[in-house]
Chains A and B, each alone.
Chain A
């Protein structure tokens, strides 16, 4: 299973980026391979409009099973997720990726 996180860095101790569309990185943990990898999303800063759908599309192509984020996607991004089976969990604001992963495993995060 692959779990994606919106994050301000690329490591387990990086903070979760509470924003979805304008997240700096997408960090993905593959629990079968026990691998942590990431996608650099910082180009999004220069995009004036449509950050949500663009990041959602990118996430779609990374094919995670679960997304763990902070505030949750906005309306446009949520429309993209309607086309996918990705499960979204929100409320990981101010956690590290590790803490967010643990909270997800314990069922402490709210499903979007």
Chain B
């Protein structure tokens, strides 16, 4: 219990960021038209691909004889990149279709 409290104390700035970001996320999204629900979901999906940064750090810190970390990190980098790149490309394709429909 103490450990958790101390951890919070150590990272209190981050806790503030978390709380403010929660409200920001709610505010930013709250007035979105229904047609944009799916593209927005897809766009948000691409943004949480930011987890790739963690994968890069894991990969970059792994000692060159620690094969478990190397292999898992390598997989993580591939999967994270898939998430980011695929996410943004799919979103772009969805929105492309959407704008074509509108102009017709």
Whether both chains belong to one complex is answered with no
Which B residues fall within an 8 A CB radius of A?
none
